[in-house]
Copies of this chain bind each other. A is one copy, B any other.
Amino acid sequence: MLTPRRIEIFKAIVDEYIKTAQPVGSKALQQKYHLPYSSATIRNDMQALEEMGYLEKTHTSSGRVPSTAGYKFYCENLLNEAQIDKKMEVAIKSAFDLTSMNIDDAVHESCQILSEMTNMTAGAIGPEASSQKLEHIKLFEIDNRNCICVFITNTGHTETKKFYFEDEVSFKDLENCIDILNTKLKDVAIDQLPDRMEAIRPILNEAVVQHDVLFTAFVKAFVKFASDNIYFSGKDRILYQPEFEDITKLKKLMALLEDGTARSWKQLDASDNAVAVTTQQGTQLTWINDVAVVRTSFNVSEGEQGQLLVVGPRRMNYDKVVSMLNYAAHTIENMYNGNKKDKGGDDSDESDG
């Protein structure tokens, strides 16, 4: 029953609603989009679309608004990934071309760009801690009061922690401690490090003088290491979305954004009322009540992947957001792999200026 005309009308409704955030009526739609059907015809089709679940009314005699199912249908079938904003392209390119010595910084910068250009909140989630194993711990002495500990994983990912010395703790003691950890914790999954520490405690107690302090310091470091990296930019931007003038909605979303643990984001699709779609390009769209989350993964090494995401109201310009996100993710991926593969083989380069 989904005739081409109904699809045309549906798309027009979604596009219009995305622009205005107001329920759209048959007559206004006909006029604004110069549809060659009478408002009565449009009304009939609207009714049919409502019965199919793609549209809904805010009250009995109001205009129509896309439902979650409607957005889902739209993103599955009507998305036209075409125009990547020129400004966006330039901004991301410049962020990557020259920062290329530090991936974290580059990811942060692209989040900021994404947030700025979509006027919503953008974020990044690092590779899962459970997929990595501890390879080696290195210790570097800065001076007699500070040193740096570097945790290296089997995938080449590194994490650092500064140690600030109290007089009672000797450098020798710390070295000792790390030697033990290196023998006992090699090849342990990152997310299991905190648990494993407990088993090592008695060994440390014997061999290390300041075992208590060092033990807790390392446990804390491991807990932090094990908790997935998550970063958000432009959390305040959602304040400017009209759907979040309702403070109670805002509170829920803000609590999620401020939470800072990746868990809730990873298990997004399992939430109540969650509706999800994956596009051909691999972009994941998830709707939960009033908010939409658009995610794209990028590979950082074999088996490991991070995610870029944009969070906003259901009503957003999906065309734009999806293509931006893909562009950013591709750029990051190229950067990660640029030094492993040959630079010359760029497979998909569609546009240039």
Contacts and interface: CB of A to CB of B under 8 A. Distances in A.
A338 B166 CA distance: 8
Contact of A220 (B99, B158, B162, B255): B99
A258 B245 contact: no
A236 interface: yes
Interface in A91-106: 98-105
Most interface-central of A101, A103, A156, A216 (chain B CB within 10 A): A101
B254 A99 contact: no
Nearest to A215: B98
A142 B146 contact: no
Contact of A102 (B150, B217, B240): B217
A234 B258 contact: yes
Contacts of A258: 234-236
Nearest to A234: B258
B251 A165 contact: no
Residue from A105, A152, A164 whose CB has the most chain B CB atoms within 10 Å: A164
Interface of A: 98-105, 138, 140, 142-143, 145-146, 148, 150, 152, 156, 158, 160-167, 169, 212-214, 216-217, 220, 224, 234-236, 239-240, 245, 247, 250-251, 254-255, 257-258, 338-339
Contacts of A143: 152, 156
Nearest to A104: B162
B138 A160 contact: no
Contacts of A142: 138, 150, 152, 158
A298 to B, nearest CB: 15
Given A98-B213, A247-B239, A158 B162 contact: yes
Contact of A251 (B100, B101, B162, B239): B239
Contacts of A216: 98-99
Given A150-B142, A152-B142, A101 B165 contact: yes
A145 to B, nearest CB: 6
Contacts of A257: 236
Contacts of A138: 140, 142
Contacts of A220: 98-99, 102, 105
A217 B152 contact: no
A164 B255 contact: no
A163 B101 contact: yes
A171 to B, nearest CB: 12
A38 B101 CA distance: 74
B254 A213 contact: no
Nearest to A115: B258
Contacts of A338: 166
A169 B216 CA distance: 38
A19 B140 CA distance: 53
A240 B250 CA distance: 11
Given A234-B258, A258-B234, A161 B239 contact: no
Nearest to A258: B236
Given A142-B158, A213-B100, A250 B239 contact: yes
Contacts of A240: 251
